[in-house]
């Protein structure tokens, strides 16, 4: 097992006590003498510049732990708790609202005023709201396409001025530069994680990613350029800022574990909170939320910086909003007009930058990045799959193994968030569904055997049921092995399927549970992680002719309920057929779904 995966597995079920007691853990706020000898202070940081009291914090560089960590910096306790609450409040009330987007927009489940409604339903603990349980990320600036793994310059909302200021100042403190063009806010649930990944889809790697932690602590893994390199294991707390630049810009990194942590406030910060008009109660609700949840704000630059005197089509890069702080007061009308002009200038400049950069894309590295990261282009041109599998490299056993493993990883990536329903949203959702269906048409044989049935439409229908019968789903690829003869290899992949139970899950999959109110209460709105094993049998044409899927429902529900006996009661009479197929009686829903498939040219 790769070193990074070993570290992930080690921390998967850890507690806060485990993190504090582990000798290998690097806590930037409490470095051991040995760790201090390997960490350099490369500067200082102070967030407040308004004359108020604010201690300077050190900027710590971790290249003493190895050259692969060059460019990785942490500013511990960079922001006071009062400001942390303000950042978190903005994440929950502003960055989740239009014109910004969230994962719920892609699922056509967007809810205006999501924080307000959560507070109304659960005034003492908004984190218990099913609405917030569905919220996983929000995006500002250039909106990241999670399915295609790319940015589209037409999908844009203004980067908040506060975040532009944060990004610019953090980068400067580390001796780097950054124009804030894309923001992703991740909302982590208790004990959740984010698998190791590289931030490699931007069109420039010359500028850092700035990441601010809010709320519960986490075990953060900072690896190297491959998962074979053992990662640094760090404890990041609320208010810590991590910066990945230089050689660390393309490092694998992720969150191995969120550790629910009480959000403590010094008495001075607590007294500084406003008291009028229910504002204090609002911030107390945010404080309660942060005691169990974690928010991560990461900011990055998408397009390359234009050099002075370069051909920009007559357009200069727009001035950062934070530099306008000292401008003279504007009337509402002129402010709106200036904002529209600024937004159009930014869009136009970035379109020019993108066009010029693509004109120079002769380098192999750039082409490879596009092949690996633009999933939609891979499906349309079949570069990442059919060319990889059907060409003469198929005759090489070593290359063949790499090819089928890459194809299997792509399968998990395409359905990472389940299957998009083309009837539930607009044009973007429909295009995402068509991309997923197109991938399967290229990846699977037309008459692929799937359990006791055949056809691509059977696979899509199961993905549809898993997605629609749960509040949300998430698949994760862990590892795979290749078996069988050279001309028809078999891949067995291990992974996880994480779902959130909803009322629909219980009614359509576990209907007998409805007779046991205690079990309903124990399952409803809960997140379950099922171990999965998926078998892909390839034919001589490099397509999957047999697909088998096994979901360990017993293991996942047993871990949730803490009892195998209780899990067995849940599974008694469940509408789960052989091959882990959901066989609920969906009636007219099934017929309607078949019409959708026919409309997409599948199953005719």
Same domain for 358 and 385, yes or no, is: no
Contacts of residues 275-283 at CB distance under 8 Å and 24 or more positions apart, as own/partner, are 282/89, 282/119, 283/85, 283/89
Nearest CA-CA partner of 183 in 199, 205, 172, 198: 199
* pLDDT value at 137 more than 90: yes
- Residue whose token pair is 């806010």: 185
CA of 218: how far to CAs of 6, 27, 82, 213, 295, in Å?
17, 11, 20, 9, 10
237 and 269, same domain (yes or no): yes
50-61 pLDDT, tens digit per residue, is: 555 568 899 999
Banded pLDDT at 73 (limits 50, 70, 90)? very high
Residue 424, in any domain of the structure: yes
Q: Are residues 351 and 442 in the same domain?
A: no
Give the integer Cα–Cα distance in Å for 471 and 360.
44
Of residues 345 and 288, which shows the higher confidence score?
288
Residue 402 pLDDT: 72
**Do residue 174 and residue 286 come from a single domain?**
yes
Q: In the chain, how many domains are there?
A: 3
Going by the DSSP 8-state scheme, the letter that residue 273 receives in this structure is S
Q: Which of 1-15, 153-167, 401-415 has the lowest mean pLDDT?
A: 401-415
| Residue 307 domain flag | no
Q: Is the model's pLDDT at 375 over the cut of 60?
A: no
Return the number of other C-beta atoms located less than 10 Å from residue 123's C-beta. Answer: 11
Let me know whether 337 and 219 are in one domain. Answer: no
Better pLDDT: 9 or 316: 9
pLDDT of 338 > 70? The answer is: no
Least confident of 182-196, 285-299, 302-316, 544-558: 302-316
pLDDT band of residue 105 (cuts 50, 70, 90) is confident
291 shares a domain with 232: yes
Q: What is the mean pLDDT of the chain?
A: 80
pLDDT of amino acid 48? 77
Same-domain status, 412 and 499: yes
Quick: pLDDT tens for 532-575: 999 999 988 888 999 999 999 999 999 889 888 889 899 988 99
Specify whether 357 is located in the same domain as 439. Answer: no
Strand partners, 141: 157, 182
Q: Mean of the pLDDT values across residues 303-320?
A: 47
Looking at the fold, whether 295 and 436 belong to one and the same domain comes out as: no
Least trusted range by pLDDT, from 64-73, 262-271, 287-296, 584-593: 584-593
Task: For residues 353-360, give the mean pLDDT.
Answer: 42
For residue 409, pLDDT beyond 70: yes
Q: How confident is the model at residue 342 (pLDDT cuts 50, 70, 90)?
A: low
Determine the Cα–Cα distance for residues 323 and 264; give it in Å rounded to an integer. Answer: 33
- Whether the pLDDT of residue 111 is over 50: the answer is yes
Lowest pLDDT segment from 177-186, 270-279, 483-492: 270-279
Nearest to 95 by CA among 186, 170, 32, 14: 186
CA separation for the pair 79, 75 (Å, rounded): 9
Lowest-confidence range among 63-67, 222-226, 276-280, 476-480? 276-280
* Six token digits for residue 541: 């044409």
Residue 305 placed within a domain? no
- Residue 13 pLDDT class (50, 70, 90 cuts): confident
Cβ contacts of 9-18, under 8 Å, gap ≥ 24:
10/256, 11/219, 11/221, 11/233, 11/256, 11/257, 12/193, 12/256, 12/257, 13/257, 14/219, 14/256, 14/257, 14/259, 15/259, 16/217, 16/259, 16/260, 16/261
Q: Which residue has the higher pLDDT, 284 or 322?
A: 284
- Give the helix ranges, DSSP H, for 420-575: 427-443, 456-468, 503-508, 517-523, 553-561, 564-571
Residue 29 belongs to domain spanning: 3-299
pLDDT of residue 405: 85
Residue 604 in any domain: the answer is: no
Average pLDDT over every residue of 101-115: 81
Query: Is 304 a member of any domain?
Result: no
Residue with tokens 């923001």: 183
Is residue 360 located within the same domain as residue 378?
Answer: no
Judge whether residue 337 has pLDDT over 80. no
Report if residue 482 sits inside a domain. yes
- Whether 518 has a pLDDT exceeding 70, the answer reads yes
What percentage of residues in the chain have a pLDDT greater than 90? 46
| Boundary of a domain, candidates 353, 373, 393 | 373
Q: What is the CATH number of the domain that holds 295?
A: 2.60.120.590
Q: Tell me: do 317 and 394 sit in the same domain.
A: no
Query: Tens digits of per-residue pLDDT, 200-210?
Result: 999 999 999 99
Q: Above 90 in pLDDT, residue 115? A: yes
Tokens at 287, concatenated:
């404080």
Arithmetic mean of pLDDT, 449-471: 90
Mean pLDDT of 203-229: 96
Domain membership flag for residue 465: yes
Report CA-CA distances (Å) from 561 to 12, 129, 519, 567.
18, 20, 9, 7
Q: What is the CATH number of the domain that holds 389?
A: 3.10.450.50
Confidence of residue 329 (pLDDT cuts 50, 70, 90): very low
Helix ranges, 197-300 (H): 267-272, 279-290
Report, as an integer, the average pLDDT of 182-207.
92
Does a structural domain hold residue 308? no
Please indicate whether residue 595 or residue 99 has the higher confidence score (pLDDT): 99
**Does one domain contain both 195 and 51?**
yes
Assess whether pLDDT exceeds 60 at residue 514. Answer: yes
* C-alpha separations of 523 from 312, 417, 559, 560 in Å: 56, 21, 12, 8
């Amino acid at each position: 097992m790769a070193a990074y995966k070993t570290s992930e597995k080690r921390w998967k079920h850890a507690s806060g006590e485990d993190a504090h007691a582990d000798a290998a853990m690097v806590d930037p706020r409490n470095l051991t003498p040995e760790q201090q000898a390997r960490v350099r202070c490369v500067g200082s940081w102070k967030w407040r510049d308004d004359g108020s009291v604010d201690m300077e914090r050190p900027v710590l560089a971790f290249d003493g732990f190895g050259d692969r960590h060059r460019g990785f910096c942490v500013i511990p306790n960079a922001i006071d708790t009062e400001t942390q609450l303000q950042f978190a409040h903005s994440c929950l009330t502003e960055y989740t609202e239009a014109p910004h987007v969230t994962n719920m927009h892609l699922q056509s489940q967007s809810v205006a005023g999501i924080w307000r409604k959560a507070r109304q339903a659960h005034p003492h603990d908004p984190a218990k709201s099913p609405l917030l349980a569905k919220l996983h990320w929000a995006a500002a600036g250039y909106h990241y396409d999670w399915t295609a793994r790319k940015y589209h310059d037409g999908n844009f909302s203004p980067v908040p001025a506060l975040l532009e200021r944060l990004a610019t100042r953090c980068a400067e403190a580390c001796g780097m530069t950054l124009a804030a063009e894309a923001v992703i806010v991740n909302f982590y649930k208790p004990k959740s994680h984010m698998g190791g990944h590289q931030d490699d889809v931007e069109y420039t790697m010359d500028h850092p990613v700035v990441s601010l932690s809010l709320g519960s602590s986490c075990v953060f893994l900072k690896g190297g350029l491959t998962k074979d390199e053992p990662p640094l294991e760090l404890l990041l707390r609320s208010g810590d800022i991590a910066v990945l630049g230089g050689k660390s810009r393309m490092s694998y990194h992720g969150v191995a574990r969120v550790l629910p942590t009480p959000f403590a406030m010094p008495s001075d910060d607590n007294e500084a909170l406003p008291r009028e008009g229910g504002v204090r109660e609002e911030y107390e609700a945010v404080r309660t939320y942060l005691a169990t949840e974690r928010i991560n704000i990461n900011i990055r630059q998408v397009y390359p910086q234009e050099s002075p005197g370069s051909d920009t089509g007559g357009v200069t890069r727009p001035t950062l909003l934070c530099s306008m702080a000292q401008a003279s007061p504007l009337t509402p009308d002129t402010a709106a007009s200036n904002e529209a002009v600024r937004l159009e200038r930014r869009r136009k400049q970035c379109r020019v930058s993108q066009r010029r950069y693509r004109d120079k894309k002769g380098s192999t590295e750039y082409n490879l990045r596009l092949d690996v990261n633009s999933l939609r282009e891979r499906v349309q041109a079949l570069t990442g799959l059919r060319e990889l599998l059907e060409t003469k490299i198929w005759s090489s056993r070593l290359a063949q193994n790499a090819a089928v493993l890459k194809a299997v990883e792509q399968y998990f990536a395409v359905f990472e968030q389940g299957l998009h329903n083309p009837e539930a949203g607009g044009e973007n959702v429909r295009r995402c569904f068509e991309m997923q269906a197109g991938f399967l048409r290229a990846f699977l044989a037309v008459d692929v055997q799937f359990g006791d049935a055949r056809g691509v439409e059977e696979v899509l229908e199961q993905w549809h049921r898993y997605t629609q019968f749960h509040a949300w789903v998430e698949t994760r690829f862990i590892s795979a092995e290749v078996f069988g003869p050279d001309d028809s290899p078999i891949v067995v992949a291990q992974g996880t399927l994480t779902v959130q139970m909803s009322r629909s899950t219980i009614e359509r999959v576990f209907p007998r549970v409805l007779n046991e109110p205690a079990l309903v209460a124990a399952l409803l709105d809960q997140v379950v992680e099922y171990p999965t094993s998926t078998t892909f049998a390839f034919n001589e044409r490099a397509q999957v002719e047999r697909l088998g899927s096994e979901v360990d429902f017993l293991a996942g529900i047993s871990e949730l309920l803490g009892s195998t006996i209780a899990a067995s009661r849940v599974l008694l009479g469940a509408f789960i057929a052989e091959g882990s197929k959901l066989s609920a009686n969906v009636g007219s829903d099934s017929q309607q779904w078949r019409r959708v498939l026919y409309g997409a040219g599948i199953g005719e």
